[in-house]
Structures are given as structure tokens and as C-alpha cells.
């Protein structure tokens, strides 16, 4: 005899389903990955202005909460607009916009509301931080999602601006970001996103092609994409030397990471399986960024300085 599911079982399944829908809607890993540079920018601003974290804990909460809501709102609006593309691409078919688990109107208003609330919170930190957040939001939602993604291979470069402003938001909540450190963080993130995204585009070539998204490998092929990937990776090589203020240890580690990544990028011309190389390059790029930003935090901890 078939047992009827209990109320508890039904509740657990519904909770799990809601959690999965939210994770897919907010692109969980992407959202978390963008919070780290905001925190790093905030932390480094405290360090270089010789400020105590305890004196700015309320600003920290507003900065992280506000920027997270703005980024979440942008990602939600991206999902709302791209539902037709997500229906075609295998990796996005679980999103609630595709499954219909959440209505499109609800998703639209949640995206708008999260964005507005995030800006309200961030305005309590500084106007400059809010301006950087708006630049990131506008670039991602309007210039990338609404305009360039379906038309131009340059969509990758345009979209990279939105992710690159994140450390500027964190820094500007404490002090003006017209400083060599946050500017270098912006440049590093801007350049990093391009080879990182190219790897995704090669990995997901068939899906992007089926969806009609003009990613570089879809329009111009793998060879050109691999060459451009290597060029952008090489461009990262001199940047740590502009961050000597973070110490020799950081510059050495960052330079080693850059050299290793150049080797990984160049290996694409010798590997027969382009998608296997793209997976390796993608994984390394994630580890590269994580190690780089965590190192910035570690070397500026008080215990590492006299």
C-alpha cells in the first residue's frame, strides 16, 4: 500500500524547492564571488586610512547589505529579461523563470525592489559608493543584458565593467576611491573577467550557439578566442607591481600566479581538446582571483605588521 506523504515531508520539499529556486535566480556563486571584492575594498580602505573596523561596523553592514541587494537585483533582472535564452541553454533550465515556479511579474518586481532597497542602504555610506554601484548596475542590466549581449561579441568587455566596480564600492564607503590601490583592483578585475568569460563561452559553445548569443568563440572560433585569452592574461603580469604598498610577499605571490596562468593560457595552443583546456583555464581563473583577494586581506592583518 502506498503511503501518503506527511505534512512535514511536503513542507521540507517545498522549502528545498524554494531554496533551489532562489539559488538559481540569484546565481548564488556569482553573487558570493562579487561580495568578496566589495569586502576587500572596504578592508583595504580601513587599512590605508589607519581606521579601526569597530568604528565602522555599521558602515560595513550597510555596505555589504546594500551592495549585495543591488547585485542581486541586477542578477534577477537579468534572469527576467533572458528567459528565452535560458529556455534553450541546458545550464539555465532550472531557473524559476524557465520552470514557472515563480511568476515573471513577481521576479520583475523583486529585482526592481532589491535594487532600490540596495541603493537606499548604500546612500547611508557615501554618495561616491552609490555612484560606483549605479555604474555597475546600469552597465550590467542596461548596457550588457538589455543591449549588447544579443548583438555584439564586445558584450564580454562591456559586462566586465559591472564586476570591476565592486572593490570601488567597498573602498568608497570609507574614503575616496581616487587612490592607486582601488584603481588597480578595478583594472585587475576588469581584465580577469574577460579570459574567465571566454573559458565559459568555449565550454558552453553549443548552448550559446543554439541560443544565438554572439560570444567570441561562436562568431570567430576557438583559435582567435584562445589568442585573445592569452593576451588578456599577459596584461595582468605588471599590475601587482603597482601594489607594492601591500608588501613584497603579496607581489611575489601575485606574480607567481600570473606566470602560472600565462602557462595555463598558452597550453591551449598545444592541447587537442579545446573544451578540456577551457575547463582547466576556468578553474584556475576562479582560484587565481580567490587567492589574490584573500592575500590582500591576509597581508594587511594587524598581526602581520609591526
How would you write the pLDDT of the chain (306 residues) with one tens digit per residue?
455 565 554 444 445 556 676 677 766 677 888 899 999 999 999 999 999 999 999 999 999 999 999 999 999 999 999 999 888 887 777 888 888 888 999 999 999 999 999 999 999 999 999 999 999 999 999 999 999 999 999 999 999 999 999 999 999 999 999 999 999 999 999 999 999 999 999 999 999 999 999 999 999 999 999 999 999 999 999 999 999 999 999 999 999 999 999 999 999 999 999 999 999 999 999 999 999 999 999 999 864 444
Q: Domain map of the chain by residue range?
A: 19-152+161-175, 179-306
Q: Contact 25/98 with Cβ under 8 angstroms?
A: no
**Dist. CA 249–CA 301, nearest whole Å:** 13
**C-alpha 262, offset from chain centre:** 21
**Dist. CA 12–CA 153, nearest whole Å:** 43
19-152+161-175 and 179-306 in the same fold = no
Please give the model's pTM, rounded to 2 decimal places: 0.91
Neighbours of 30 (CB within 10 A): 12
Q: Contact 33/77 with Cβ under 8 angstroms?
A: no
CATH class of 19-152+161-175: mainly alpha
Q: Contact 204/91 with Cβ under 8 angstroms?
A: yes
Domain 179-306 has CATH 1.20.120: yes
Size of the chain in residues: 306
**Dist. CA 37–CA 185, nearest whole Å:** 8
Nine cell digits for residue 63:
555596505
What are the backbone dihedrals phi and psi of residue 133, each rounded to the nearest 5 degrees, phi first? -65, -40
pLDDT of 16:
55
Amino acid at each position: 500500500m502506498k503511503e501518503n506523504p506527511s505534512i512535514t515531508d511536503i513542507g521540507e520539499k517545498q522549502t528545498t524547492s524554494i531554496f533551489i529556486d532562489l539559488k538559481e535566480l540569484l546565481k548564488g556563486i556569482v553573487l558570493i564571488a562579487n561580495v568578496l571584492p566589495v569586502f576587500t575594498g572596504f578592508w583595504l580602505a580601513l587599512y590605508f586610512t589607519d581606521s579601526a573596523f569597530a568604528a565602522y561596523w555599521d558602515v560595513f553592514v550597510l555596505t555589504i547589505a546594500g551592495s549585495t541587494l543591488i547585485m542581486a537585483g541586477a542578477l534577477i533582472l537579468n534572469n527576467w529579461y533572458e528567459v528565452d535564452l535560458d529556455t534553450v541553454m541546458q545550464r539555465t533550465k532550472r531557473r524559476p523563470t524557465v520552470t514557472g515556479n515563480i511568476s515573471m511579474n513577481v521576479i520583475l518586481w523583486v529585482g526592481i525592489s532589491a535594487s532600490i532597497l540596495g541603493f537606499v542602504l548604500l546612500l547611508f555610506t557615501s554618495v561616491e559608493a552609490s555612484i560606483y554601484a549605479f555604474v555597475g548596475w546600469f552597465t550590467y542590466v542596461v548596457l550588457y543584458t538589455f543591449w549588447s549581449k544579443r548583438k555584439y561579441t564586445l558584450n564580454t568587455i562591456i559586462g566586465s565593467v559591472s564586476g570591476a566596480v565592486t572593490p570601488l564600492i567597498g573602498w568608497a564607503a570609507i574614503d575616496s576611491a581616487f587612490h592607486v590601490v582601488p584603481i588597480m583592483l578595478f583594472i585587475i578585475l576588469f581584465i580577469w573577467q574577460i579570459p574567465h568569460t571566454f573559458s565559459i563561452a568555449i565550454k558552453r559553445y553549443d548552448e550559446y550557439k543554439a541560443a544565438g548569443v554572439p560570444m567570441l568563440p561562436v562568431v570567430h572560433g576557438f583559435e582567435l578566442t584562445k589568442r585573445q585569452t592569452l593576451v588578456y592574461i599577459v596584461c595582468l603580469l605588471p599590475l601587482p607591481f603597482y601594489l607594492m604598498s601591500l608588501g613584497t610577499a603579496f607581489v611575489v605571490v601575485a606574480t607567481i600566479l600570473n606566470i602560472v596562468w600565462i602557462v595555463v593560457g598558452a597550453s591551449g595552443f598545444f592541447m587537442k581538446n579545446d573544451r578540456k583546456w577551457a575547463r582547466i583555464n576556468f578553474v584556475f581563473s576562479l582560484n587565481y582571483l580567490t587567492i589574490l583577494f584573500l592575500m590582500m586581506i591576509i597581508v594587511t592583518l594587524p598581526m602581520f605588521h609591526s
